[in-house]
């Protein structure tokens, strides 16, 4: 009987409906096509973004499809939690015919938007595909440069199980903090020694998580325009290039909302915001971090209710910091301050 009474007392506690916390400012659009655009980014109205650095172009392409763009590069995903977004960038290439005459080439140059954005050094890797191919990359300021060589004398099985170690495929890392990259290709013997199976080389920056060597057979020929081969590239961002102490000193410009705190990213510059423990949501919105739902067992809730009965000051007759929801055969317990 006492267990029944405890369950009834839980049921009789007033509860509030659980609503998903918004990811954009009031009145702003949260999607461009199929891509979610969370604050601090914004589209259509500049007031929907934290500042001009985070304002993205949402427009229709030549085929009439709505597309989210960072400059000329399509944006595929934005993550507030990780502080990244991914873009598609065309691969550079260099092609020859069997006589060793150059037939087509394209050198890539990418400069990121102004503001606190940089190529991710932990996610991206510079990759070269080919059997008579070398490629180099520099930044606009020529303070950084690297090269990668890929050679082979016979057709290589470009399967995902093969390492990208210099035979048909070569990879090298990039440093922290790069905001621009130029890369192009060349060849030693104009592909004449491997012309039966390889006439083109490719070079590109790519997210290690999305790269599949099987997507790049040595027989591949380049395409241009909307059919051009692109790779997923990860861009990291911070809200401001300043320390947490500097940011908190200027409360009017401080980016973190309620129940959120200033954190330092691994890239070693600037700051980001994250929800405090027990909260989840968008830490850049004023009330973006809300108490999150955790699952508690019947036993746990009975114990909690007994504690409430023993210590009336925490009962549901006052402003509790905990709320209960029945979901099937379990209860959900929402933690966090109200």
Per-residue pLDDT in tens (0 to 9) along the chain, 338 residues: 444 444 444 444 433 333 455 799 999 999 999 999 999 999 999 999 999 999 999 998 877 789 999 988 999 999 999 999 999 999 999 999 999 999 999 999 999 988 899 999 999 999 999 999 999 999 999 999 999 999 999 999 898 888 898 899 999 999 999 999 999 999 999 999 999 999 999 999 999 999 999 999 999 999 998 899 999 999 999 999 999 999 999 988 999 999 999 999 988 889 999 999 999 999 999 988 998 765 555 555 555 556 555 554 444 443 444 444 433 333 444 445 44
pLDDT at 14: 38
The pairing of strands 330-334 and 323-327 is: antiparallel
pLDDT at 293: 60
pLDDT at 150: 95
Scan for tokens 């980016």, then name that residue.
Answer: 255
pLDDT at 16: 36
Which among 280, 208, 315, 286 is positioned nearest to 20, based on CA atoms?
280
pLDDT at 317: 40
pLDDT at 203: 97
The pairing of strands 42-43 and 55-60 is: parallel
For residues 201 and 104, give the distance between their C-alpha atoms in angstroms, rounded to a whole number: 11
Give the predicted TM-score (pTM) of the model.
Answer: 0.80
Scan for tokens 């909260």, then name that residue.
Answer: 279
pLDDT at 12: 40
Cis peptide before 2 (omega within 30 of 0): no
Residue 195 has phi, psi (to 5 degrees) of -65, -20
For residues 338 and 18, give the distance between their C-alpha atoms in angstroms, rounded to a whole number: 13
Scan for tokens 């890239």, then name that residue.
Answer: 267
For residues 295 and 49, give the distance between their C-alpha atoms in angstroms, rounded to a whole number: 35
Which secondary-structure segment (H or E) carries 56?
strand 55-60
Which among 139, 142, 203 is positioned nearest to 171, based on CA atoms?
203
DSSP state of 234: E
pLDDT at 267: 83
């Amino acid at each position: 009987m006492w267990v029944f009474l405890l369950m009834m007392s839980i049921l009789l506690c007033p509860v509030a409906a659980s609503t998903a916390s918004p990811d954009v400012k009031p009145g702003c659009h949260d999607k461009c096509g199929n891509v979610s655009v969370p604050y601090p980014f914004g589209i259509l109205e500049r007031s929907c973004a934290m500042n001009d650095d985070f304002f993205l172009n949402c427009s229709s392409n030549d085929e009439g499809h709505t597309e989210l763009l960072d400059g000329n590069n399509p944006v595929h995903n934005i993550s507030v939690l990780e502080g990244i977004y991914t873009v598609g960038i065309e691969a550079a290439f260099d092609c020859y015919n069997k006589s060793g005459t150059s037939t087509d080439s394209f050198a890539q140059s990418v400069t990121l938007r102004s503001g606190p954005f940089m190529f991710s050094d932990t996610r991206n890797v510079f990759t070269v595909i080919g059997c008579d191919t070398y490629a180099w990359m520099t930044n606009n300021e020529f303070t950084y440069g690297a090269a990668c060589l890929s050679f082979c004398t016979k057709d290589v099985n470009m399967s995902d199980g093969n390492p990208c170690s210099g035979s048909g495929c070569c990879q090298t890392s990039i440093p922290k903090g790069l905001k621009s990259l130029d890369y192009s290709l060349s060849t030693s013997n104009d592909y004449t020694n491997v012309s039966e199976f390889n006439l083109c080389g490719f070079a590109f920056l790519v997210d290690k998580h999305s790269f599949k060597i099987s997507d790049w057979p040595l027989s591949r020929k380049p395409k241009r325009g909307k059919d051009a081969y692109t790779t997923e590239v990860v861009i990291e961002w911070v809200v401001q290039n300043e320390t947490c102490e500097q940011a908190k000193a200027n409360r009017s410009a401080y980016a973190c909302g309620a129940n959120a705190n200033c954190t330092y990213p691994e890239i070693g510059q600037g700051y980001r915001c994250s929800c405090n423990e027990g909260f989840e949501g968008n830490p850049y919105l004023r009330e973006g971090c809300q108490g999150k739902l955790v699952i508690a067992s019947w036993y746990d809730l009975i114990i909690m209710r007994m504690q409430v009965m023993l210590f009336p000051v925490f009962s549901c007759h006052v402003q509790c910091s905990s709320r209960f929801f029945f979901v099937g055969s379990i209860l959900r317990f929402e933690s966090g301050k109200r």
